[in-house]
Amino acid sequence: MARKLIKYSLMIPGPTPIPTRVLSAMNHDMIGHRGPLFSAVMKEVMEGLRWAYETKNDIFIYPSSGTGGMEVAVVNMFSPQDKVIVLNIGNFGARFVKICKAYGVEVNDVKFERGKPADPKVLEAELKKGPVKAVLMQQNETSTGVLNDVEALAKTVRANQPEALIIVDAVSGMMAAPLKTDEWDLDVVVSGSQKAFMVPPGVSAVSISKRAWKAYENSKCSKHYWDLGLMKEEAPKGHTYTTPPESLIFGMREGLAMLKEEGKENVYARHQHNRDLVRAACRALGLNLLADDSHASPAVTAIFAPDGLDGEKIRAMMRDEFNVEVAPGQSELKGKIFRIGHLGYIDSLDIIGAFAALEVLLKRMGAKTNFGAGVKAAMELL
Ligand SMILES: Cc1ncc(COP(=O)(O)O)c(C=O)c1O
């Protein structure tokens, strides 16, 4: 009799699986979004986000994906012809470049080899060339599985150009790895609901420092939907300028409550452990990793397909044969790598299950791997 799969396993770096508690919380009647009931929920979510961001700064919630949050940062901070540095370590750095260019901002696109983090020494050399309005970077580059050292990069900016804005895309890094917005003096930080917050896509959150508010006053980029000033008027009342995505806000409240119950340090430790399991399993199978241990992402791991095998084929077989969804390589890495997401509502046994599937497929495809070694290496770390 044919074997029929009934369980789906989502192992991509966002959207991530949603806990039943969050799904149930979202199953809520709509309520007046200008009334006291919703206002209380919104204020709770904003407080929860301040806890996650480690900040006392203003935080605004936009009905948008993470890219919308990146655009909020650009259009509210800059004017056409402003000069900025983008630390481009992958696809999402390249996205910051595109957004800036779309608004006439002059970009020094500082590219790093794929799989490597941004080097503070390179940044320092660029900052010494002349004043810039801002430095933009990713906390975690999802396309390569690399975690930037945001603290060191921020220190480099402050040491060389104390008043330059530091803008961080923390969409896939927030809550997967520590990010101390106030301690590291970060001016604009962007996150998205669909990653470690364990909520469906559709909400982005953006924090704004005092320095960033000053830049906002001088910014001449065209804007309306993304205009922070419109949000600022509404936020103290627990409102948003437009109609908020209520279901997602209920979900955010529950996701944040779950993270608080787990405890921040435990959340970070879980993500690190997930990363370590994946890397141990890959090494035991002789699979090469794109990022070195020193800057390996706790959210996602980019893995080279074994010689002669296509990463896309492995990915398709994982989905077709085992209902395990992993992510493709992007841009120049397409076909060469595949990526296993291990952020959000993902635990050790999900990873071991995914490797069991991968090992069976690699064996069927004739790869010279030591069958069972990956799962065993991961189990030994439990
Ligand atoms: C680091 C990073 N930045 C930005 C984005 C863009 O987010 P979205 O696809 O929600 O627009 C993503 C999405 O994966 C991301 O991982």
The pLDDT of 234-246, averaged and rounded, is: 95
* Closest to 74 in 3D by CA, of 60, 95, 88, 57: 95
Please report, for the chain, the start and end positions of each structural domain, with discontinuous segments joined by +: 9-16+264-380, 20-261
Residue 33 has pLDDT above 70, yes or no: yes
User: Would you place residue 5 in the very low, low, confident or very high pLDDT band (cuts 50, 70, 90)?
Assistant: confident
CATH class of 9-16+264-380: alpha beta
Whether the pLDDT of residue 351 is over 90: the answer is yes
Q: Point out the ligand 1 atom lying closest to the alpha carbon of residue 67.
A: 11
The mean predicted confidence, pLDDT, of the chain is 97
The alpha carbon of residue 368 and the mean position of all alpha carbons in its chain are separated, in whole angstroms, by 34
Provide the phi-psi class of 331: left if phi over 0, else alpha when psi is between -120 and 50, else beta: left
15 in ligand 1 pocket by Cβ < 6 Å?
no
SS (H, E, C) 133-171: CEEEEECEECCCCEECCHHHHHHHHHHHCCCCEEEEECC
pLDDT of residue 346: 98
Q: Is 63 close to ligand 1, i.e. is its CB under 6 Å away?
A: no
- Exposure b/e, 266-301, CB count within 10 A at least 16 = b: ebbebbebbbbbbbbbbebbebebbbeeebbbbbbb
- CA 95 to ligand 1 center in whole angstroms: 9
- Whether 192 is in the pocket of ligand 1, judged by its Cβ within 6 Å, is yes
Q: Is 138 in the pocket of ligand 1 (CB under 6 A)?
A: yes
The token duo for 187 is 């001016």
What does the alpha-carbon distance between residue 190 and residue 70 come to, in Å, rounded to a whole number? 7
Residue 108: pLDDT above 70?
Answer: yes
Decide: 335 and 311 in contact? Cβ < 8 Å: yes
Ligand 1 closest atom vs CA 201: 10
Asked if residue 1 has pLDDT above 70, the reply is no
Residue to mutate (ligand 1; options 12, 142, 143, 190; most atoms within 8 A of CB): 142
Work out the average pLDDT over 292-311: 96
50, pLDDT greater than 90: yes
Whether the per-residue pLDDT at 243 is higher than 90: the answer is yes
Residue 273: is its pLDDT beyond 90?
yes
Q: What is this structure's pTM? A: 0.98
pLDDT at 329 over 90: yes
107: β partners: 84
Question: Does the pLDDT value for residue 2 go beyond 80?
Answer: no
Q: Which CATH number fits domain 20-261: 3.40.640.10, 3.20.20.150, 3.40.470.10, 3.40.225.10?
A: 3.40.640.10
Mean pLDDT of 233-252: 96
Provide the token pair at 180: 């101390």
Per residue in 181-229, pLDDT (tens digit) is 999 999 999 999 999 999 999 999 999 999 999 999 999 999 999 999 9
Domains 9-16+264-380 and 20-261 are alike in CATH topology: no
What pLDDT does 157 receive? Answer: 98
How confident is the model at residue 6, as a pLDDT?
87
